[in-house]
Chains A and B, each alone.
Chain A
Amino acid sequence: MKTRLLAFGFLSPALIAVFFFFLLPVLLTVVFAFTNMSTSTGIMGGAYQINETQMGSLRDTEVSPESIEKLEGAGYLISEAGLAALAEEFGEDTAEELRDDYLGETFAARRDLERVLRNLDDPIRNTRDRKAAADLFVSTVIGERFDTAEDFRAALVETGIDPADHDLLTEFAYTGWTWTTANFSLLAELPSTMRYASNTAFYVVCTLTFNILFGLFLAISTFYLPGRLANTFRAIWFLPRILPPVLYVLMWNWFTWDRGFIATVAGWFGAPQQNWMLHTSTHAWTAVILINGFVGASLGMILFSSAIKAIPTSMLYASEVDGANRWQQVRYIILPQMRWPILFMTSYQTLSLLTSFEYILLATDGGPGRSTEVWALAAYHTALNNYGGNLQYGLGAAYALALVFIGIALSILYLRFFNFKELLSKPRIEQ
């Protein structure tokens, strides 16, 4: 019992972290994908408000022109609520006088109401006070912010707008996000969806192939090189793996951009100055695949090297005694032993290439002209960073949802790489 408490005590901080930053986000990605959340709707739900600038678009809706006119025309209304507020601030007498003479009357402009206030027997003399007093009687809903739908409807009632239009107006005035499946229909319609998908497939297949083949080549070749030479090459190829991505891509930018290495060398032979990374989409793809490929090959080299090291040397010696040459040794001894590491690397890299966009973002940012925009980068651009400024969280989440599903499916597949039975062997102390 005590051990159980200890176990949960030890585990719970990690569980809390996992809940907040894994389970909840997975759930919320699903939820957000079904909303129209964006910068303009905010994320916390919204209020009810119709602004001057929206009047134009309001005319395009089915709200009747009379209602719209009322909405615009309604200015200042001497209501009991306003009088009560006035009494509180400027005295019972002023309010009483106003009630007797003007209750129920409306004024189109504030100026008119202010004149009335000045001409009372007990006038409000200070200009600023008059302004404040007039504001107490504002009855228009335009520019006004209402926290709940009830408040908004109450205000509509006061302006005397046809109740038939109330529902439409309330819906129109809502500034927060709403539930919708529009994101998915939009994804289905947009031609860019297919392009991002095929870009992603192309990117993953090419980079993965490069990673595995070149990683294997690095691991096997350094295995056969004498110690110091092998270590030098390993050091060169280990660095991409641990250098910060921003710096690593900067070096590539220098290598390929218009005043960088390739441009300079090509310039000696009379080639025009150009950005060799972003010049054409072929160049961009080459750069993207090499940048990611070198990092992946770096990881592959490390993984495969340790797998080769695990092959018993007696096996290699035996094959040499049997007269196998190097190529045969690689083909018949080393490669068969690498089946699991290769499979592991393939599944693992597939997942990470599908979903990571860090290096592409830093190198081409999807360019030129979105030709290297992959799915994950599209999700990022839609929801977190675009030039329009209106970040579409809902649509971005719909993009991400596809990746989340693929991610969950592949990670469950990944479970098979582990000897789960052995993993589950019971703790040997039974308390």
Chain B
Amino acid sequence: MTGTPRIWPLVLILAIFSTPLVIMYLYQIIDSVASPDPGSLIPGELDLSNWRFLWERIDSGRPTIWQVTFNTFLFASTTAFLVTLLSTTAGYALSRLNMPGRPYFLGGLIILHAFPTITLIIAIFIILQALGLFDTLLGIILVKAALELPFGVWIMKGFYDTVPWEIEMAGVQDGASRFRVWWELVMPQVKPGLAALLIISFLSGWSEFVLPLVLAPGSSTQVLSTFMNAVIQDDATADFGLFKAIGMYYSIPVIVIYLIFQKQLMNIYGGGTKG
């Protein structure tokens, strides 16, 4: 749709609504490297002291940023890997394999897909304590992976559904077992799906806040979200420059992935999926 006569009113309304967000984005960047004087919005001189958390501990009680970053990366990547692995096999079984009770599994999958898992956190909290996994990275990895699983299986099933049946039939006729057909013939067709799921679950793990907050509150298992939250909570002076610098650092992977995969991400999130 191009060449419209009255496009400017529309743009104006959009711009007005977008202004708060744009201001927030803008000052998110500005304040992290230059603190304006109180009562002013004009950026002061370049000031990197907000980034001091990179080379020193903000205060003695906290783990170093590198420890926290490592935790976050381990948490997000292991979760993403687990989700993708389990979804790849389960999605295929639900999409293509004959098995008793298949309708129930599919119905259950949809219900789980919609079910608000956060309501279970109290019970999960107690289960983790009973299993001895409370306040461990392994514990939150397992929980996060399990909670993301219905979404992952659903996505992967969708990708498998688009692979023509004839390819599998041809494989079977060519003498290959169903396992081999899956591994050698079908998997190469769903590689984009694998990549998408890997990226989405990584992003989801990277941003996760409530699970680590509740299930791994100790300082040795802190991830960037809980680290940043703790810094904000404990700082009486509201040092927004410091918070924003940490926020910048925290969001780098998100922004990078966003810039590279913007279109694909919009497509996947637009496919009526969970978020």
Residues in A lying within 8 Å of B, measured CB to CB: 2-4, 6-11, 13-15, 17-18, 20-22, 24-26, 28-29, 32, 37, 43-44, 214, 218, 221-226, 229, 233-247, 250-255, 257-261, 264-265, 267, 294, 299, 302-303, 305-306, 316, 326, 341, 344, 348, 351-352, 354-358, 361-362, 376, 379-380, 383-385, 393, 396-397, 400, 403-404, 407-408, 410-412, 414-415, 418, 420, 423-424, 426-431
Contacts and interface: CB of A to CB of B under 8 A. Distances in A.
Contacts of B238: 257-259
Contact of B251 (A247, A264, A383, A410): A247
24 contacts: A6-B93, A6-B97, A9-B89, A17-B146, A18-B108, A28-B127, A226-B7, A229-B11, A237-B21, A238-B258, A247-B251, A250-B244, A251-B28, A254-B31, A254-B243, A255-B20, A260-B240, A299-B275, A355-B118, A380-B214, A385-B214, A423-B106, A429-B96, A429-B169
Nearest to A413: B114
B23 A261 contact: yes
The listed residue with most B CB atoms (<10 A of its CB), out of A344, A379, A423, is A423
A299 B269 contact: yes
B172 A429 contact: yes
A424 B109 CA distance: 12
Interface string B21-48: 1111101100100000011110000000
B232 interface: yes
B269 A241 contact: yes
B228 interface: yes
A302 B120 contact: no
The listed residue with most A CB atoms (<10 A of its CB), out of B86, B87, B97, B127, is B97
A251 B24 contact: yes
B172 A254 contact: no
Given A17-B146, A241-B275, A305-B270, A22 B117 contact: yes
B92 interface: yes
Task: Identify the 8 closest CB pairs spanning chains A and B, nearest first.
Answer: A306-B270, A21-B146, A355-B116, A25-B123, A25-B120, A411-B114, A14-B90, A7-B97
Interface stretch (B50-58, B59-67, B260-268): B260-268
A302 B142 CA distance: 30
A348 B269 CA distance: 14
B163 to A, nearest CB: 12
Contact of A255 (B23, B102, B115): B23
Chain B interface helix/strand/loop/mixed: helix
Contacts of B68: none
A342 to B, nearest CB: 12
A403 B119 contact: yes
Contacts of B229: 246, 362
A8 B2 CA distance: 53
Chain A interface helix/strand/loop/mixed: helix
A363 to B, nearest CB: 11
Contacts of A429: 96, 98, 165, 168-169, 172, 178
Contacts of A303: 269-270, 272
B13 interface: yes
A348 B111 CA distance: 12
Given A247-B250, A259-B240, A10 B93 contact: yes
Contacts of A356: 116, 118
A11 B89 contact: yes
Contact of B266 (A238, A261, A423): A238
B188 interface: no
A7 B99 CA distance: 7
Contact of B122 (A18, A267, A393): A393
